[in-house]
Amino acid sequence: MHKVIYDTDPGVDDAMALLFLHRHPEIDVIGITTVFGNASVETTTRNALFLKREWDIQAPVAKGASVTIDAARAEREWPAMVHGDNGLGNIEVPHTIDLPLDPRPAHRFIIDTVRANPGEVRLVAVGRMTNLAMALKEDPEIAGLVKDVVIMGGNFYVPGNVSPVAEANIHGDPEAADIVMTAPWKVVVIGLDVTSITTMRRSYLGAMAAKGDAAVKLLDGLSQHYIDFYSHAVDDGMMVHDSCAAVYLVAPELFTTITGAVRVVCGGIADGQTVIKPDGRRFPPGDWDGLPSQIVATGIESEKVIDLIRDTLLRA
Tell how strand 187-190 and strand 148-152 pair up: parallel
- Give per-residue pLDDT as tens, 160-209: 999 999 999 999 999 999 999 999 999 999 999 999 999 999 999 999 99
Answer whether residue 90 shows pLDDT above 90: yes
Beta carbons of 201 and 236 less than 8 angstroms apart: yes
pLDDT of residue 15: 98
Partner residues linked to 151 by β-bridges: 125, 189
pLDDT at res. 259: 98
In angstroms, the CA 145 to CA 111 distance is 10
Residue 71 pLDDT exceeds 90: no
Query: pLDDT tens for residues 32-60?
Result: 999 999 999 999 999 999 999 999 999 99
Q: Are 2 and 250 in contact (CB under 8 A)?
A: yes
Residues 6+ apart with CB under 8 A from 96: 46
What pLDDT was estimated at residue 316? 76
C-alpha Rg value of the chain to the nearest Å? 18
- Strand-strand pairing, 187-190 and 199-201: unpaired
Q: How high is the pLDDT of residue 72?
A: 87
The whole-number average pLDDT for the span 127-132 is 98
Work out the percent of the chain whose per-residue pLDDT is above 90: 97
Mean pLDDT, rounded, of the chain: 97
pLDDT digits (tens, 9 = 90+) for 13-23: 999 999 999 99
Chain segment 234-290, per-residue pLDDT in tens: 999 999 999 999 999 999 999 999 999 999 999 999 999 999 999 999 999 999 999
What's residue 225's pLDDT? 96
**pLDDT score, position 77:** 87
Q: What is the DSSP string of the chain?
A: -EEEEEEE---HHHHHHHHHHHH-TTEEEEEEEE-SSSS-HHHHHHHHHHHHHHTT--S-EE---SS-SSTTSPPPPP-HHHH-TTSSTT----SS-SSPPPSS-HHHHHHHHHHHSTTTEEEEE-S-SHHHHHHHHH-GGGGGT-SEEEEE---SSS--SSBTTB-HHHHH-HHHHHHHHHSSS-EEEE-HHHHTT-EEEHHHHHHHHHHS-HHHHHHHHHHHHHHHHGGGTSSSEEE-HHHHHHHHHH-GGGEEEEEEEEEE--SSTTTT-EEEEETT---SS-TTTTPPPEEEEEEE-HHHHHHHHHHHHT--
Neighbours of 8 (CB within 10 A): 31
Q: Of 2, 83, 107, 241, which one is the catalytic site residue?
A: 241
66 phi/psi in degrees, rounded to 5: -115, -10
Distances in Å between the Cα of 266 and the Cα atoms of 155, 179, 214 are: 15, 11, 43
Is 2 catalytic? The answer is: no
pLDDT of 98 strictly over 80: yes
